[in-house]
Chains A and B, each alone.
Chain A
Amino acid sequence: MNYEPVIGLEVHAQLLTRTKLFCSCSTQFGNEPNANTCPVCFGLPGVLPVLNRRVVEFAIRAGLATNCQITRKNIFARKNYFYPDLPKGYQISQYENPICTKGWIDIEVKGEKRRIGLTRIHMEEDAGKLLHEHPVSRSKAASWVDLNRAGVPLLEIVSEPDIRLPEEGVVYLKELRRILMYLDVCDGNMEEGSLRCDANISIRPVGTKKFGTKVEIKNMNSFRHIEKALYYEIKRQTEVLKGGGTTAQETRLWDPEREVSESMRSKEEAHDYRYFPDPDLLPVEIDERWIEKIQSNLPELPQKKRDRFIKQFQLSPAQAEVLIETGEIASFFEQMLQKYPDSKKLANWIINSPFPVTKLNPDHLTKVLTLVDAGTLSSNMAKEVLQKVYETGRPPEEVIEKEGLTQVSDTAALEAAINEAISENPKEVERFRGGEEKLFAFFLGQVMKKTKGKANPKIVADLLRKKIGR
């Protein structure tokens, strides 16, 4: 029997607000443990949450960008469980009526278009972090609680079980990440945990409708791990079923070093979170005007931008894909087009740049490209100039002058170098004239060497032809 996987993904995206979800503490990453805390983050007796409205706005942005319906009356619920990094003994989240529902994201995998449904997007606060070694004293004798992250706003984005292949999952995640980054609601930094993913996976005989028993894999934070974990889990479940066994509903953890998933807890131990509406927070009413305002301020989303770039600037899909990778690159490209209208050439320069091209002053880049077109700079020299401009921040004119990097097109100077090359290599001249055409390149190289690469290759070639015949 053949099996097919059914995959749904839950993504936790940390929002780019300056302050936390229910207090005014900073959300800055990397500070000393417990530096970003107040009585509210600590869940001290007597504290009360006050909603950061920016979070609601960000959630609406994300919802509108992913074709969701926006819930008008929003209720925050308490999700009760005990854990030392959960200061209040409950997490404030949304349960029934999440702020966004019934959306979708379109993706393309191996040339095939797929639509992945979004069940819901809801707002919630992050928990803290446990350290089992003291960050300063390195003592392992106790565990330490760091609540810098406690109360940091998250969006939980839950997909429908529409994903069939691990690659599809990764493409979906990449697209979701790109949308969130375009919206400026999440920095997408997976290493710092700004984007984390849980996967629900089951397998079923091909052709059947019923879902198999699902396994949840928790907290993965790289595309590579996610893809590997999904493949591993599909293989594991398939082997269990083919061997006549049954899979258990459980939560598993991915061990990226050993590349295996391991059981964390089974359904029997599953939590009863005892959700109920948080009585410390009033329902949040979202009116039409608020939604309209946010809608009108939405940026052009990556897919739309890619299609437009292909059509408007005659780019290849591959070129367009790279240029829309971030909103920053895309807008740099369009900004540059005002000054340097050759879209294809420009696209190639941006795509092949070894450093973040958006860090360049557009005027500087324009200047260098124009010099290339005029024949004053060779492509290689231009790369060198740009690298220096990037490193020093100095204008290209200054760099070119200081490094003596202009191309030599002066015929007299070039002729001298050519004559030198001919007189130094009489045998080769002989052979070339005898018909060894490939030696032409040898002479070209000699001249370039003598001019330290500054010779204009086109002019050198013309002159060489004249001098050595053929």
Chain B
Amino acid sequence: MELCDLTIHELHEKLKKREIRSLDIVDSVFKRIRSVEPKIHSYITLTEELAFIQAQTSDAMMEKQKDFPPLMGIPIGLKDIFLTQGIQTTCGSKILEGYIPPYDATTVEKLKQNGMILTGKLNMDEFAMGSSNETSSFGIVKNPWDLERIPGGSSGGSVAAVSAGECIAATGTDTGGSIRQPASLCGVVGLKPTYGRVSRYGVIAFASSLDQVGPLTKDVTDSALMMNLLAGHDPRDSTSLDEKVPDYTRSLIPDIKGWRLGVPKEYFVKGLDSEVEKSIREAIRLFEKLGAKVDEVSLPHTDYGVPTYYILAPAEASSNLARYDGIRYGYRQKEATTLIDLYKRSRTKGFGVEVKRRIMLGTYVLSAGYYDAYYLKAQRVRTLIRRDFEKIFENHDVILAPTSPTAAWKFGEKTDDPLKMYLSDIYTINVNLAGLPGMSIPCGFTKSGLPIGLQLIGSHFQEEKLLRAAYTYEQSTEWHKRRPKL
């Protein structure tokens, strides 16, 4: 096994024992990138030179210190939705091609302060709109487990890179499942924290009331290590909550005896692939064997999640994307003659089909005369969905569910039918509407060797419970140790 296939905590141990240097890891990662990136295309921008410079600095610092932060000297990739000072940030869109931000996102600042090495900016669905990474203006990302299949979206580049060893861990964002669904389809661990747990400052907004930043890692321990760093109040983000940040590694206890787990009956219906269902059922049985009590529970408003999401998310997106007008930064179409013409041409050429579809949807549902019927109604449904969950958490610790109804599908399979595509996020979207933390961990493979993900959903600010349950499961299984053959 190469260094690039190891986890953060494994590499940290080796660095501490002086067995390796950060430079060795960076070297291994970029060797892997050179060999597999042409096939996978998980990066939009590579920062190799910077990575080597940062590794040198980290090595020099680590030489002097006995103790150093777990992320120091570890190569991490950033979804191209995180603003990086001086480094092109595109959000997967042509309209931001060549855009060099003048400041770092809070998450990037924190990672830098802790000595992480930046490998580059990872490919993604344009403005995080998509479930398959087929909407990126910079080309599609392929699933490392099967190059004819999608990696999931919108953090597709991030999960593909982690899974293929093109970085040790990555950051993602999750608006309707964009961390958990691709994590599931590429066999990595993805955690979407509680809304407000991690700062959104410097993260390009898709739907502000749903977006949340989270880690993509090879195992649960790495997820806890990343959370220690990402979580916390940011005075620059009014929606980030001022709650104490626990040491998440303390949740890594392989014991959930006596816990009550809920399995929502509405999540096991037509459309759920039988192979996926089999793996999920097996995982649930294992939890029972490990001492948890599992009940069937009900989330009666489940079916309303997807339509509610596709009113609220586009509404916010239509407003958030108004700033890309070709005036002050980003792509500007040159042939325009008047102001309105400039807006129209720049936005017509700069945005892709899916982004335009959602801008139009959002503009429609917010317009005078339709606002009450769509936007306001959707907000009310959102409250009902949140209450469904709250009720279950009155006497359950964690909810177990599939992450995605199917394993990774082939390119083009759902691109002609947006509604079919939207339904692929059916198990993840309600968690965002309720603002809850959710996590996807590997729980099996299909006969054809595609990863399957198990979703754990917790109550507000109960990431610790998710990590503990996930860790307990992980300690009894080997799924997370498999790597794709490339």
Contact = CB atoms under 8 A, between A and B. Distances in A.
B140 to A, nearest CB: 23
Nearest to B315: A276
B441 to A, nearest CB: 29
A39 B103 contact: yes
B323 A43 contact: yes
Interface residues of A, number: 29
B26 interface: no
Interface in A250-295: 272, 274-276, 278-282
Interface stretch (B60-68, B200-208, B462-470): B200-208
Contact of B323 (A49, A51, A87, A274): A87
Nearest to B312: A279
Contacts of B304: none
Contacts of A35: none
A45 B204 contact: yes
Contacts of A276: 315-316, 319, 366, 371, 375
Contact of B322 (A39, A44, A80, A278): A80
B102 A89 contact: no
B238 A87 contact: no
Contacts of B329: 44
A272 B368 contact: yes
Contact of B339 (A44, A48, A84, A87): A84
Interface string A36-74: 000100111111111100000000000000000000000
Contacts of B277: none
B343 A82 contact: yes
Contacts of A84: 325, 327, 339
A371 interface: no
A3 to B, nearest CB: 32
Given A50-B235, A80-B366, A88 B325 contact: no
A152 to B, nearest CB: 18
A84 B322 CA distance: 11
Contacts of B235: 50
Contact of B238 (A50, A89, A272): A50
Contacts of A274: 318-319, 363, 366-368, 371
Contacts of B204: 45-46
Given A274-B366, A280-B208, A46 B239 contact: no
Contacts of A43: 323, 328
B89 interface: yes
A50 B239 CA distance: 9
A145 B316 CA distance: 26
B333 interface: no
A274 B371 CA distance: 8
Contacts of B238: 48-51, 280-282
A48 B236 contact: yes
B355 interface: no
A217 to B, nearest CB: 24
A265 to B, nearest CB: 13
Interface in A15-52: 39, 42-51
A47 B201 contact: yes
Contacts of B208: 278-280
B237 interface: yes
Nearest to A278: B208
B59 to A, nearest CB: 31
Contacts of B91: 45
A440 interface: no
Prevailing SS type, chain B contact patch: loop
B57 interface: no
B323 A48 contact: no
B149 to A, nearest CB: 31
A78 interface: yes
Interface in B349-400: 363, 366-368, 371, 375
A88 B236 contact: no
Contacts of A87: 323, 328
Nearest to A78: B319
Contacts of B99: 45
Contact of A89 (B209, B239, B325): B325
A278 B323 CA distance: 15
A86 to B, nearest CB: 9
Contacts of A51: 238
A45 to B, nearest CB: 5
Given A48-B201, A49-B238, A274-B366, A90 B101 contact: no
B225 interface: no
A42 B237 CA distance: 17
B101 A45 contact: yes
Contacts of B318: 80, 274
A50 B83 contact: no
Contact of A280 (B96, B239, B327, B368): B239
A88 B327 CA distance: 11
Interface in A330-360: none
Contacts of A275: 366, 371
A308 B201 CA distance: 53
Contacts of A47: 201-202
B105 interface: yes
Nearest to A282: B238
Nearest to B321: A89
A88 B322 contact: yes
A452 to B, nearest CB: 68
A55 to B, nearest CB: 14
Contacts of A278: 208
Given A84-B327, A282-B239, A46 B83 contact: yes
Contacts of B207: 279
Given A80-B366, A272-B368, A280-B208, A46 B323 contact: no
A90 B237 contact: no
Contacts of B200: 48
B375 to A, nearest CB: 6
A89 B236 contact: no
B367 A272 contact: yes
Contacts of B83: 45-46
B322 A89 contact: yes
Contacts of B327: 84, 145
Contacts of B328: 42-43, 87, 145
A279 B209 contact: yes
B311 to A, nearest CB: 11
A162 B40 CA distance: 69
A88 B99 CA distance: 17
A90 B375 CA distance: 18
Contacts of A45: 83, 89, 91, 96, 99, 101, 204-205, 323
21 contacts: A44-B101, A45-B91, A45-B96, A45-B99, A45-B101, A45-B323, A46-B105, A47-B202, A48-B238, A50-B237, A80-B318, A80-B366, A88-B322, A90-B319, A272-B368, A276-B366, A278-B208, A279-B207, A279-B239, A279-B316, A281-B238
Interface of B: 83, 89, 91, 96, 99, 101-103, 105, 200-205, 207-209, 235-239, 315-316, 318-319, 321-323, 325, 327-329, 339, 343, 363, 366-368, 371, 375
Interface of A: 39, 42-51, 78, 80, 82, 84, 87-90, 145, 272, 274-276, 278-282
Please name the 3 residue pairs, one residue from A and one from B, whose CB atoms are nearest each other, closest first.
A89-B322, A279-B209, A274-B366
Given A88-B322, A274-B368, A275-B371, 18 more contacts: A43-B328, A44-B101, A45-B99, A45-B101, A46-B101, A46-B202, A48-B200, A48-B236, A48-B237, A48-B239, A50-B235, A51-B238, A145-B327, A272-B367, A274-B318, A274-B319, A276-B319, A276-B366
